[in-house]
Amino acid sequence: MVDTHAHLTFPDFQADLSETIARAKAAGVDKIINIGTDSEHNAKAIELTKKYDGLFAAAGLHPHEAQHFSDELLQKMEEFARHPKVVAIGETGLDFYRNYAPAESQYRAFEAQVELARKTGKTLVMHIRAAFKESWGVLEKADLGEEKVVLHCFGEGIEEAKKAIEKRYFLSFNGTLTFPKSTLPEVVKILPLDLILTETDCPYLAPVPHRGKRNEPAYIPVVVEKLAAVLGRSKEELAEVTATNAARAFGI
Ligand SMILES: [Zn+2]
């Protein structure tokens, strides 16, 4: 199984990183992609790939950090992106829910990362919150191609999912799928199996029954199990399919 979106570079894991990775492996999660949010975490994510097997990195600037975007930072990101263990650009996108960065900065950072994805041929990892229409406008114009975009922590409805299916973008699910009031199971049911990815977004969004606690890659099987239950298929099948999808999405 694969955790396609983790933040093991965050201070939350400083005290027990090796144990956290060991627990993931023991749980059958043999690949983890640490997603970059700024220059510091991009560098740390790459460092981790040298220390541990099965770890990969993405280089990006989170929409919350978009006000720090500069040409220099973009150049640095491009250097990171050329590292063989860097398998994606992101996370990027638009977040008009928190609005931690001005919209103008968010657009600028996002559009630059879309171009970087095109230039490097890497897959783009998207964070979209309260900004689907706006994000879609940029993605449609950019037209990165089939299976080159991942909608991380997919939280939209069926209409938006259909648009993603049409483009053959991947949709990635985490602990939010297990929340009792989640409408995501209805979305999952309409998806082609070969576009579904699993992630934790750890340390955030731990699945039930760990909800509210620190999330970690070892909980990926809970998400796989939930997907299997929703789709009426076996856990083993979902584990295999989502791992194959991650292999295609990120070349891992
Ligand atoms: Zn994230």
Task: Supply the pLDDT for residue 182.
Answer: 98
- pLDDT for 156 equals 98
- Residue 37 backbone phi and psi in degrees, to 5: -125, -20
Q: How many CB atoms lie within 10 A of CB 194?
A: 13
Query: How many angstroms separate the CA atoms of 82 and 80, rounded?
Result: 5
How many angstroms does the Cα of residue 189 sit away from the middle of ligand 1?
24
- In the reported structure, the alpha carbon of residue 35 is separated from the centroid of ligand 1 by a whole-number distance in angstroms of 6
Helices 103-120 and 71-81 pack at an angle, to 10 degrees, of: 30
Is the torsion defined by CA of 216, 217, 219, 225 positive or negative?
positive
Centre of ligand 1 from the C-alpha of residue 199, in Å: 9
Distance 22 CA to ligand 1 centre (A): 21
Ligand 1: centre distance to CA 202 (Å): 8
Cα of 200 vs centre of ligand 1, distance in Å, is 9
In sequence order, the β-bridge partners of residue 171 are: 151, 196
Task: Phi first, then psi: give them for residue 92, nearest 5 degrees.
Answer: -135, -175
Strands 170-173 and 2-6: unpaired
The domain 2-250 having CATH identifier 3.90.78.10: the answer here is: no
Concatenate the DSSP letters of all residues of 201-227 into one string: -BTS-PPTTSTTS---GGGHHHHHHHH
Q: Is pTM beyond 0.85 here?
A: yes
Distance CA 227, CA 62 (A): 27
Cα 152 to ligand 1 centroid, rounded to whole Å: 8
pLDDT score of 82: 95
Structure-token pair, residue 11: 């201070």
In whole angstroms, what is the distance from residue 61 CA to residue 91 CA?
A: 6
CB-CB contact of 23 with 221 (8 Å): no
Confidence (pLDDT) at 77: 97
Q: How far is the CA of 217 from the centre of ligand 1 (A)?
A: 13
CA 203 to centroid of ligand 1, rounded, Å: 9
As a whole number of angstroms, the distance between CA 50 and CA 140 comes to: 36
Per the CB < 8 A criterion, the answer to whether 209 and 13 are in contact is no
- Give the whole-angstrom CA distance, residue 4 versus residue 16: 20
Do 111 and 139 form a contact (C-beta atoms < 8 A)? no
> Alpha-carbon distance 8 to 99, whole Å?
24
Which residue stretches of the chain have pLDDT < 70? none
How many A from CA of 62 to the centre of ligand 1?
Answer: 8
The pLDDT, as a whole number, for residue 8 is: 98
What pLDDT score does 24 carry? 98
